[in-house]
Structure 1
Amino acid sequence: TFPLSLSSGKIRSLAYSTITRKLISTSEDGMLGVWDMDAEREETTEWGGSNVCEKCNVPFFWNVKGMWDNKTIGVRQHHCRKCGRAICASCSDQLSTYPRMGFEKPVRMCQDCHSSLTTDDRSPMASFINMKSIVTSLHLVHTLGHMVTASEDKQIKIWDVNPMMMNH
């Protein structure tokens, strides 16, 4: 699977152009994303399961035996979005984008994965526009180069999408 992470808001609408192979998404935080579906992506890593941090071995809060044996309080489990390891907050204190896996916004990573990223790894594979209103529906008429949007603020707009569809 290839998640495309645009925002913290829920996805409200989608449209796909078979001509340019671009996906347009809108979210409830007012963002519109244009995704290049021909971009080479990596499949997301499955998250590991563990009772202890896979980096420093501190027990997670449900690991009562580990907490008892180490005389320590357990911590919350997190996951590195790049490698999938189960890690504690201290071992996953780095944030970065990783567009190849669909993470256009910064996500949690372990220190090893974060330090292995190059500038190319962080290069965006999508573009974003703040619509300043929540788009509830959109319709793409690519043959005309238009997109029609309706928003929660009761506005209907017609957009020229040729510039945003050709920029990738």
Structure 2
Amino acid sequence: IPTHQGRVTVVLFVLEMEWVLSTGQDKNFTWHCSESGTQLGLYRTTAWVSGLQFDVETRHAFVGDYSGQVTILKLELDSCSLVTTFKGHTGNVTALCWDPVQRVLFSGSADHSIIMWDIGGGKGTAIELQGHNEKVQGLCYAPHTRQLISCSSDGGIVIWNMDVTRQETPEWLDSDSCQKCEQPFFWNFKQMWDSKKIGLRQHHCRKCGQAVCGKCSAKRSTIPLMGFEFEVRVCDSCHESITDEDRAPTATFHDSKHSIVYMHYEPTMGWLLTSGADKVVKLWDMTPVVS
């Protein structure tokens, strides 16, 4: 089907609709009838697409692109309409995964993060998952156990337990001085002059979002229910409020020992297929950890 003027980036076959969805570096998103090859529609994206998912029941296409934006389109037989767009990544979207039961969309990014978007709940909730040190390369979901499988270019495979009540990360607050000790930050010239104090560098507590100085946020902690499986900066009061139970991990970490560029999960057999930059394909039995 001659459709794109640039390299095709993602192709998706929708058996129930007899559609073929495709995207390219020419920023074209198209869908064709798989039987006749007839083009049914075309949509121009803001950047070239690197992730694509489709929900048969609602006919919604989820499009992730290199600007870090995710777009939801409503597809019809001969047209489409824009539903909404949202952006939470600082890097390009590298992978998408859709859970049609919980109506949740997962997006992975080059910024090392994963975001869980509550599409069906209508609350606009976005839960961050921080468990990779390099670019997220693939996402798969095991609906029967509510576990998310993610992989990254450094070979890391993370199994996330999504059957827990997670908390949304707070927005970072703005302030001209530390919201704990009230010492001025380095751009607050007036307060520095009045108090005869040197301005400090601004940081943020990952748990409460307050703007704090380094002295008031010298401690680190994991906050798994907020998606922070690695230790992050927290203010002194938040550090005291985090219990050992709060630090209980909600993910397990595994090393594939090759730089993963693609992954696919087969839930019936419990097998995970990974291919790497080393030109090696590996088949994993995931039943001991995805259960």
TM-score range for the pair, normalised by the shorter chain length: over 0.9
Aligned residue runs from structure 1 range 53-68, under 5 A: 53-68=178-193
Greater percentage in helix: 1
Question: Counterpart of 2:185 in structure 1: which amino acid?
Answer: F
- What is the RMSD of the two structures over their aligned residues, measured on CA atoms? 1.2
CA offsets 1:96-147 (integer angstroms, 9 cap, x no match): 1010101100000011111111110000011111222221110001112111
CA offsets 1:5-55 (integer angstroms, 9 cap, x no match): 102322121111222211111123321110111111111112111010001
Corresponding pairs, count: 166
User: Secondary structure of 1:165's match?
Assistant: coil
**d(CA) in 1 for partners of 2:159 and 2:250?**
9
Of 37, 56, 69, the match for 2:162: 37
Of 257, 275, 282, the match for 1:150: 275
Of 247, 250, 262, the match for 1:125: 250
Of 84, 88, 92, the match for 2:213: 88
Question: Counterpart of 2:215 in structure 1: which amino acid?
Answer: S
Of 142, 149, 168, the match for 1:24: 149
Do the aligned residues in 1 keep the contact of 2:154 with 2:260 (CA within 8 Å)?
no
Segment of structure 1 superposing worse, 11-20 or 150-159: 11-20
Segment of structure 1 superposing worse, 3-12 or 154-163: 3-12
Runs (5+) with no aligned partner, structure 1: none
Identity value in percent: 48
User: Is it true that 1:107 corresponds to 2:210 in the alignment?
Assistant: no
**d(CA) in 1 for partners of 2:198 and 2:162?**
45
The TM-score with structure 2 as length reference comes to: 0.55
Of 259, 271, 283, the match for 1:134: 259
Of 181, 184, 204, the match for 1:79: 204
Q: Which has the larger radius of gyration?
A: 2
Segment of structure 1 superposing worse, 39-48 or 78-87: 39-48
Question: Counterpart of 1:99 in structure 2: which amino acid?
Answer: P
Once the two structures are TM-superposed, the CA of residue 72 in structure 1 deviates from its matched residue by 2.7
CA offsets 1:47-102 (integer angstroms, 9 cap, x no match): 11101000111111222222222223322211111111100111101101010101
The TM-score with structure 1 as length reference comes to: 0.93
**d(CA) in 2 for partners of 1:23 and 1:157?**
19
Once the two structures are TM-superposed, the CA of residue 149 in structure 1 deviates from its matched residue by 0.1
User: Is it true that 1:6 corresponds to 2:156 in the alignment?
Assistant: no
Find the counterpart in structure 1 of residue 71 from structure 2.
none
